[in-house]
Amino acid sequence: MNMDRRSLLGLIGGGAVALPASQAGAQTPGTVAFLHGVASGDPDRHSAVFWTRVTPADANSGDIEVRLEVARDEAFADIVRTSSGLRARAERDFTVKHDLDGQGLEPGQGYFYRFVAGDVVSPVGRVRTLPEGATPDLSLAVVSCQLYPGGLFNAYDAIAKLDRLDAVVHLGDYIYEYGAEADDYGMVTGAALNRLPQPPHEIVSLEDYRLRHAQYKSDPDLQAAHARAPFICVWDDHEVTNDSWVSGAENHQPETDGDYATRKATALRAYYEWMPIREAAPGALREAINRTFHFGDLASLMMVETRLSGRSEQLTYEKDLTFAAGPDGQPAPDVAAFRTRLADPSRDLLDARQRDWLGRELAASKAAGRPWQVLGNQVVTARVAGPNLSQMASPQQIATMIGSLPEAVRPQVAQLIELFKSGLPFNLDAWDGYPVGRERLYQTFKVAGVTPVVLAGDSHAFWVNDLKDDAGERRAVEFGTSAISSPSPGDFLGAFPLGMALTQANPEVEFCDQKAKGFVLLKFTPEALTAELHTVSTILAKPYEARVLATYRVAQADGGLGPLEKQG
């Protein structure tokens, strides 16, 4: 996300076991524990990726032998698959990740799983394989943006308590890279809650990234959500560093942080170690994690990668907006020149390889007769111009609102208010910063003959959008999830209704809430999709209350999708 977040936005485990000293190449006598829970991910019809981390008594000791058990029942009386001889190795930070390689499980069924190291048993997780053939319904939770110091992960507790859940779609910002200084991102809340990031500095090294992942997975609410259902994940920027693109990032300074390519490779190594995601194929780019999941004859989910493999560098108002003499001879923003730069046809979030792949997958899903094509995309796609507050409030009201903000952000907010009078985009780090690339994406939808459901994270806000191309033709519907715990722009604007202002200013925006935290629950049937925007009452304390902020329905219709209909 392009706005300067630091200024503008500001133990589940088993017991212990003594392992035999005679076990060749294994952990020496001592204790081990499962302190980071269990997880599954990337399900297919007969398998999934199963993950855990074994904490050794001595990090310098040898491998730890681990066994995976998968059963039909929670008591593990009916075990259907056992994988022995797995090893937690120091070279992978003692994480264990195992794929059943498409064997042993039945399509569309729920299972329980656990890991065993000697006499120590991990927590129990639940997994559901992808269905095959006729599929009457599907339930997906969509999540994004979980800043550990930003607040409690109450939304994950709510997800863990859902009665029906087939999978969790995580759109990125699983970890954040910032440190624990008083002015670091989220630390006002983090200090109050004693949720201080570890290590307490910005992460750069492999040890740093591993420790940060370990801290996040020590959170009991996140562990509960992972144990509830398989996760289908893609990273956004903070898994590496803020506002990443192919060759750099806003929050990377080579003189202090070293080589960017090295940092990116380091971050991805830790990500693959700590996440329940299939490894990149031999010889493939580790950045290329675009992949497809078919839910029987009902839906296809295409996860795209919009950060590290094809993204051009972001434009920013601070560095790319130039000034020219205005009508009164005084310097004024050269909006026309900025729009020309914005419309550079070379700018995109997807490279040709991934866009071609997406087109083939969309067309194949439609040819197979599936009514729903879903795009697991990281950033907001809709056209969202910043609100022209001069049309919504008096100068005195605007001045009062600016005066109510923290002093450090007032100049930046005042500047944005002036810029938005020209209809410039609200967020240049989203698809709005790559308008020609977005048209290429819409052309891909058109050629494939589909009107997909696009998902979005990153913005820390809820969105319901009706997406149209430059010609005004409807190309998709979009549901954006707010953050689990990361600060939202509206959090810093007092009583000003930013979400309402953005809705009124933008024809593509049907609904926007810039303050609530939570997740989106999507419920598919062959006839219609229902999207529920779930929120939690607080991320600062427990207990909390969960509620549905808004519900929208979109039905299948001849030639595409029907209108977005708000329920209730």
pLDDT tens per residue across span 319-329: 999 988 878 77
Nearest-angstrom CA–CA distance, 27 and 550: 52
Residues 6+ away with beta carbon under 8 Å from 240: 177, 249, 263, 264, 267, 268, 307, 308
- Residues of 124-150 as b/e, b for ≥16 C-beta within 10 angstroms? bbbbbbbbeeebeebbbbbbbbbbbbb
Place of tokens 């017991």: 15
DSSP at 386: P
**In this predicted structure, what is the pLDDT of residue 287?**
85
pLDDT in tens, 21-73: 333 344 433 589 999 999 999 999 999 999 999 999 887 878 999 999 999 99
Token pair, residue 137, equals 């319904």
Q: Is the per-residue pLDDT at 474 higher than 80?
A: yes
Q: Is the per-residue pLDDT at 17 higher than 60?
A: no
What percent of the chain lies above the pLDDT cut of 70?
Answer: 95
What residues pair up with 219 in beta bridges, in sequence order?
A: none
Q: Is the per-residue pLDDT at 195 higher than 80?
A: yes
The runs of H, that is alpha helices, within 108-203 are: 154-160, 187-193
**Is residue 497 reached through a cis peptide bond, with omega within 30 degrees of 0 on the bond before it?**
no
Task: Say what the pTM is.
Answer: 0.93
Q: Is the per-residue pLDDT at 11 higher than 50?
A: no
As assigned by CATH, the class of the 11-130 domain is: mainly beta
Nearest-angstrom CA–CA distance, 482 and 520: 8
pLDDT in tens, 208-233: 999 999 999 999 999 999 999 999 99
Place of tokens 């959500």: 225
Nearest-angstrom CA–CA distance, 160 and 153: 11
Residue 409 pLDDT grade (very low, low, confident, very high; cuts 50, 70, 90): confident
Residue 521 pLDDT grade (very low, low, confident, very high; cuts 50, 70, 90): very high
Give the burial class of 195: count Cβ atoms within 10 A of its Cβ; 0-12 exposed, 13-18 middle, 19 or more buried: buried
- Mean pLDDT, the chain, rounded, equals 92
